[in-house]
Amino acid sequence: MVDYSVHGQVAVLEVNNPPVNAFSHNVRVGLDRSIDKAIKDTNVKAIVICGKGRTFPAGADIREFDQPHKEPSLTLVFEKLEKTTKPVVAAIHGTCLGGGLECALFCHYRIAQKTARVGFPEVQIGILPGAAGTQRLPRLTGLHVAMDMITSGRHIFAPEALKYGIIDEMFTGDVINAGIKFAKSVMNKPLEDRCLMNKTVKDADQADQIADEFMSLVKRKYKGFEAPIDCVKAVKASATLPYREGLKMESRLMQKLLLSGQSAAQRYAFFSERAVSRWKMPGGNFQTAKPLPIKSTAVIGAGTMGTGIAVCLLNAGYQVYLLEQNQKFLENGVKTIRGIIEGSVRLGKTPMAVAQKAATLLKPTMKYEDLADVDLVIEAVYENLSLKREIFSKLDKLCKPTTLLCSNTSSLDIDRIGTATKRGDKVAGMHFFAPAYYMRLLENIYSTQTSPTTAATIMDVGRKIGKVSVLVKSCQGFLANRMRGPFAVEAYFLLEEGSTPQEVDSVMENLGMPMGPFKTGDLSGLDIGYKIQTELAKSKGVELSVDSKFLMGERISTLTRTMYDNGRLGRKTGKGWYRYEKPGGKLATPDEEEILERLMYSCINEGFKILEEGVAATPEDIDISWIYGFSWPKYLGGPMYYANRIGLDKIYQRICYYHENFPYSSHWIPSRLLLKLSENKVPMSQWCSGTDSKL
Ligand SMILES: CC/C=C\C/C=C/C(=O)SCCNC(=O)CCNC(=O)[C@H](O)C(C)(C)COP(=O)(O)OP(=O)(O)OC[C@H]1O[C@@H](n2cnc3c(N)ncnc32)[C@H](O)[C@@H]1OP(=O)(O)O
């Protein structure tokens, strides 16, 4: 578990526990013994610690967290390193993470290959760096950098680590040779100043301010997660408590987190994320099927999904032909792609070099012929089986025989798309989630004809574009949407039974979902649900009407159709279940304006009809009835007074708008009197029954 060798006066301790050299119990025992051996050996004047194979240790063994703890603990072993009078050098390559970085922080020196990464990802499995990481990193970097790294869990590359002082030097070439060379250069130097426990935190005087800043950041950014909050508390303790007291605080918080349900769930998610890559399907699996090489790709459709998919492919270095049917759509698509990539560069998420390369890889086109030689096509047009079949048939005739043809459909049967071609084995689904450049899931779908080689290839592409890919068999809604179906449908039924979108969303958001079903629907587009519903009905030979409440004996919501018919398609139209500041906007506010207008303007219209028909003689009659009959607030003066304040022009115009949109509600037929009063700018004092005939 730890290979021990002596090179002149330098002992090299090489952790050997593939695949990631995690500090399992056997490794801790082996390391403990090797350290003792090197300390005792009088010929040894310096010690190098490194990892065999692909990496420096990537942390504690997460699988052991579910088992009873076995001594020695990591901290116990690591403390020997700092105490020894022989200089200890951590020679880092690959990923030096969690307990691996803690080990390095107990060493007197740290050197790293330029491509190495260091970090404390513990927060992502619901814990904190519990082997003194929260106390030692701030002593090296200051609180700000330590808070950032520990609460985010982000890995940083060696050059950034060098800038923060986490490593002392970068090297190229062989790890052991570099370690030995460096160890020789520091063999006789004093070590007191190299022991982090002796150091103080440089920005300790700002501890309160920095901790408050990060506390509010993590509460906002990682709403509902416990670990980031405890990370802030533990890191702050490095500045406010003596080292040993800080360690005790870290240990208390660590024990609490380890026992929490959140950490167990996050660890489950960590292993599940890896387990899904071990896919299987009839006739093959991840071990037997080999992916085909993919270099050039095409995306058909430059809408929301198509552009998002193109961004993923471009960022991963694939050439992308973006195909649209007309110049305007194509130009808009290219603009969207550029906007997404530039935004990501501004946020520091995409390196400039990647963005520059992406720009050269994008090939906008309106000609299908340009797609003839690509290796992979992803079709992302709207959900319509006939249209997709038509496109696939065209592609089949035009593309080289090896091209894989995939659809980003979220629900349509891949078998029925595949049968439009003569290469069903090379047809599959690649279902991205909106926004495609951001959401990590990629649902890959095989039909009865899809070959394991095709599945292997799209799973491989998924990995290369940074997605977590799952492979599923084609069925109605596939996995994600099929399971989400009842969730979405029940949400609609709840509205029909009296709940509001805000109420439903907040229940789910309080549970921990970043967005409730209605905000999510607005984001994906409410036309999708409608189109899925109509396509499904069509496939069953059923014609749905506005008031259809059942489809094949199943309850369906009339709201799906209503929202579609009213153009409330979500963010893209600036209104859905919520209102947005502009079409494509992100700021969801309950549509208060429309609620108010629809409730008030409809009855104001009725008020003018009441005047028109002489049911009431004056607007005052109406207003007093409201004040005393319906407790209308006196400070608003009554609905007719309110109408006057808003202006009859605006009211009339909005009433016409709603009449157009809701032709089946007679209360929206505009009052003739209202029109005349507004056209003639008649003051309120002259509104009364009979005014109509005088105008
Ligand atoms: C009581 C505790 C005291 C002290 C506190 C210390 C805490 C810790 O150190 S917690 C662990 C911190 N480290 C991590 O969280 C790193 C997790 N691993 C990764 O991020 C990645 O695996 C990697 C970046 C190191 C490598 O990525 P990649 O090359 O893509 O490989 P895989 O992710 O597929 O991993 C390969 C294989 O290794 C398993 N594995 C990875 N890390 C660990 C680990 N720390 N413990 C146990 N097993 C680990 C991973 O699950 C894969 O195996 P399977 O495919 O069988 O699942």
- DSSP per-residue letters across 554-570: EE--THHHHHHHTT--B
Q: Which residue has tokens 């605006």? A: 650
507-513 average pLDDT score: 79
Q: Which residue has tokens 């009959």? A: 629
Asked if residue 526 has pLDDT above 70, the reply is: yes
Give the span between the Cα atoms of 515 and 505, in whole angstroms: 7
Give the span between the Cα atoms of 39 and 290, in whole angstroms: 49
Collapse the DSSP code of 525 into the 3-class scheme (helix H, G, I; strand E, B; otherwise coil) and give the result.
Answer: coil
Q: How far is the CA of 166 from the centre of ligand 1 (A)?
A: 21
Q: Looking at ligand 1, which atom is closest to the CA of residue 69? A: 1
Q: Do domains 281-478 and 481-590 have the same CATH topology?
A: no
Phi, psi (5° rounding) for residue 570?
110, -155
Question: What is the identity of the amino acid at 36?
Answer: D
Beta strand 117-119 with 95-97 is parallel
198-227 average pLDDT score: 94
Asked if residue 215 has pLDDT above 70, the reply is: yes
67-77 average pLDDT score: 94
In sign, the C-alpha dihedral spanning 147, 150, 153, 158 is positive
| Protein residue with its CA nearest to atom 28 in ligand 1 | 20
Q: How far is the CA of 538 from the centre of ligand 1 (A)?
A: 48
Q: Write out the H or E segment, with its range, that includes residue 308.
A: helix 304-315
Asked if residue 590 has pLDDT above 80, the reply is: no
Domain extents in the chain: 2-259, 281-478, 481-590, 592-694
Q: DSSP letter at 242? A: -
Asked if residue 691 has pLDDT above 80, the reply is: no
Q: What is the pLDDT of residue 632?
A: 78
pLDDT digits (tens, 9 = 90+) for 631-661: 778 788 889 999 999 999 999 999 999 999 8
Phi, psi (5° rounding) for residue 89?
-115, 125
Q: What is the pLDDT of residue 692?
A: 61
Question: Which residues, including other chains, have CB under 8 Å from residue 427's CB and lie 6 or more apart?
Answer: 392, 404, 405, 406, 407, 414, 417, 418, 421, 447, 449, 450, 454
pLDDT digits (tens, 9 = 90+) for 400-445: 999 999 999 998 999 999 999 999 999 999 999 988 999 889 999 9
Q: Name the token pair of 339.
A: 């906007």
* For the chain, percent of residues with pLDDT exceeding 90: 74
Catalytic residue among 82, 102, 250, 597: 102
Q: How far is the CA of 121 from the centre of ligand 1 (A)?
A: 10
Q: DSSP letter at 577? A: S
326-336 average pLDDT score: 96
Q: How far is the CA of 56 from the centre of ligand 1 (A)?
A: 12
- Topology of domain 481-590, CATH: N-(1-d-carboxylethyl)-l-norvaline Dehydrogenase; domain 2 (1.10.1040)
Decide: 488 and 523 in contact? Cβ < 8 Å. Answer: no
Give the span between the Cα atoms of 389 and 115, in whole angstroms: 46
Question: Which of 419-433, 536-550, 562-576 is least confident?
Answer: 536-550
Asked if residue 694 has pLDDT above 70, the reply is: no
Q: Looking at ligand 1, which atom is closest to the CA of residue 60? A: 9
The arrangement of secondary structure in 2-259, i.e. its CATH architecture, is Alpha-Beta Complex (3.90)
* For the chain, percent of residues with pLDDT exceeding 70: 99
Collapse the DSSP code of 284 into the 3-class scheme (helix H, G, I; strand E, B; otherwise coil) and give the result.
Answer: strand
Decide: 66 and 88 in contact? Cβ < 8 Å. Answer: no
236-243 average pLDDT score: 97
For domain 281-478, give the CATH superfamily: NAD(P)-binding Rossmann-like Domain (3.40.50.720)
Q: What is the pLDDT of residue 60?
A: 97
| Mutation pick for ligand 1 pocket among 17, 61, 62 (CB with most ligand atoms within 8 Å) | 62
- Give yes or no: 102 in active site: yes
Question: Which of 65-74, 349-358, 543-552 is least confident?
Answer: 543-552
Q: Which residues does ligand 1 sit against, CB inside 6 Å?
A: 19-20, 22, 58-63, 74, 95, 97-99, 121-122, 125, 129-131, 271, 274
Give the span between the Cα atoms of 689 and 503, in whole angstroms: 43
Q: Looking at ligand 1, which atom is closest to the CA of residue 278? A: 55
For domain 592-694, give the CATH superfamily: N-(1-d-carboxylethyl)-l-norvaline Dehydrogenase; domain 2 (1.10.1040.10)
Cα-based angle 583, 587, 593 (whole degrees, multiple of 5): 75
Q: What is the pLDDT of residue 286?
A: 96
Give the span between the Cα atoms of 514 and 403, in whole angstroms: 38
Give the span between the Cα atoms of 673 and 581, in whole angstroms: 34
List the beta strands (DSSP E) in 621-675.
none
Q: Looking at ligand 1, which atom is closest to the CA of residue 59? A: 9
Catalytic residue among 82, 122, 250, 535: 122
Q: How far is the CA of 58 from the centre of ligand 1 (A)?
A: 6
| Phi-psi sector, 191: left (phi>0), alpha (psi -120 to 50), beta | alpha
Q: How confident is the model at residue 279 (pLDDT cuts 50, 70, 90)?
A: very high
Q: What is the pLDDT of residue 554?
A: 79
pLDDT digits (tens, 9 = 90+) for 31-49: 999 999 999 999 999 999 9
Which of residues 138 and 625 earns the better pLDDT score? 138
Asked if residue 664 has pLDDT above 80, the reply is: no
Give the span between the Cα atoms of 238 and 211, in whole angstroms: 11
> What is the widest separation between alpha-carbon atoms in the chain?
116
Q: Taking the model in full, what pTM does it have?
A: 0.81
Complex prediction ipTM: 0.98
Decide: 123 and 231 in contact? Cβ < 8 Å. Answer: yes
